[in-house]
Amino acid sequence: MTAASPSLNARRAGLGPLHSFKRSLSPQNWRAPVVHSEYSLHQLSPYIGKLKSSIAGDLVQALSRPGELVVDPFSGAGTIAFEASLAGRRVFASDLSPYAYALTHAKLNAPHTLDAAVHQIETLLEESAASATPDLRAVPRWVRAYFNPRTLKEAISFSNVCQDRQHTLGLSCLLGILHHQRPGFLSYPSSHLVPYLRGKNFPAEDFPALYEYRALRPRILSKVVRAYKRVDDGPRLASTVVQSSIEDVILPARVDAVITSPPYMNALDYGRDNRLRLWFMSPTAAAAIDNSTPSTILEFARIMSVLAIKVSSCLKVGGYCVLVIGEAVSRGTLGHTASTAVEVFTSGSYPFQLVQTVSDLIPDVRRARRDCRGVKVENVIVLRRVK
């Protein structure tokens, strides 16, 4: 077992939340790197457009109290939900993507110790090894192109067992090492965040070792150890995670705070960018997710209206609704998603008042797709229910 560092324990016990929002959120506090300081479960598997954990933690601490219920209906990688849980809040999270669901559920329900996690993964590996060997003829050619056949059979078997057992930690660890060129990963040479083969950079005749069989067992166990490098074994309050669209999700009857990052309009292809990981979960998931992502400002406004209706029915009077929204740059024009969200929530149709907005430049790693050049500005919109 690896204990949480003193700084992480201090974070858990230190900052007192403000019941009334009296301080200004500043991007200056959010610019320091967190990769070597955040809880390592945040790094289970990459997720494009992922919110920085320091921002999520700051919002949770500022806008909710310990023991209160924090809701994130677009949970993505589960960053907000996990930070809320670490801060002693109850959590309800949802997302349409099975990949987002798996990551969020895994972080909120992971065993508290490395020993317990390793024991569970060992059991899954044993069951996987005893299961029927997958028939690779049923696997699409583009998926087979990423793996040594023997490695692919092991990965599919392990994925199937994890899904049958609803073991999201094991599944998330597998997805986290699915593709890259480093020795600890399973695929042929490829990128890590968004899957594409790098055969031109690493031709098989020059790098034959990169195309050999890569055993799953030592790599998945090493991944678990990395995931528990910085852990918190303190008590957690109840959490609920569901896989659902915003249209179909049923939020709890009484919510203390909503903190969420809606999908970036026409800027990120959540299905395409995760297509290989999603295939291991559902062959049709990638297309369904991309079809649900708003591609016009009218579609984005509709989603914001659905969210406003849902939140109006459950958020307590005086409670905060925080939207973290990226501005989509399309052919030189801003998508104005943040102003659209504010207009919807403060139109008079819903009981919300704008408290504060914070704009922050974000890196190009949140890369564009389709006709967008990039998401350059991220806006934190703080709304309060006034009646």
212-229 pLDDT tens trace = 999 999 999 999 999 999
Nearest CA to 369 among 201, 245, 147, 193?
193
What's the pLDDT score for residue 267? 61
Mean pLDDT throughout 37-43?
A: 95
Does residue 109 sit within a domain?
Answer: no
Same domain, 247 and 379: yes
User: Mind listing the pLDDT tens digit for each residue in 277-315?
Assistant: 999 998 877 777 777 777 788 999 999 999 999 999 999
Same domain, 95 and 123: no
Same domain, 122 and 268: no
Cα distances (angstroms) measured from residue 109 to each of 8, 104, 128, 166, 168: 19, 9, 22, 11, 8
pTM, full prediction: 0.89
Q: What mean pLDDT, rounded, does the chain reach? A: 87
Name the phi and psi angles at 91, rounded to 5.
-135, 140
Does residue 1 sit within a domain?
Answer: no
Does residue 95 sit within a domain?
Answer: yes
Which of 174, 205, 227 lies at the terminal end of a domain, its last residue? 227
Please give the Cα distance from 209 to 211 (Å, whole number). Answer: 5
Same domain, 211 and 311: no
Please give the Cα distance from 353 to 374 (Å, whole number). Answer: 30
What's the pLDDT score for residue 148? 98
Same domain, 46 and 97: yes
Q: How many domains are contained in the chain?
A: 2
Does residue 333 sit within a domain?
Answer: yes
Same domain, 223 and 138: yes
Helices in 40-78 by DSSP H: which ranges?
Answer: 53-63
Same domain, 50 and 128: no
Same domain, 150 and 269: no
Mean pLDDT throughout 340-344?
A: 95
Same domain, 306 and 372: yes
Same domain, 221 and 242: no
Mean pLDDT throughout 55-59?
A: 94
Which of 209, 227, 245 lies at the terminal end of a domain, its last residue? 227
Does residue 107 sit within a domain?
Answer: no
Q: Which domain holds residue 203?
A: 114-227
Asked which of 65-69, 106-110, 178-182, 355-359 is least confident by mean pLDDT, the reply is 355-359
Asked which of 63-72, 269-278, 340-349 is least confident by mean pLDDT, the reply is 269-278
Please give the Cα distance from 168 to 105 (Å, whole number). Answer: 6
Cβ burial of 332 (10 Å; 0-12, 13-18, 19+) is: exposed
What's the pLDDT score for residue 369? 39
Same domain, 135 and 279: no
Does residue 276 sit within a domain?
Answer: yes
Which of 184, 212, 227 lies at the terminal end of a domain, its last residue? 227
Same domain, 170 and 239: no
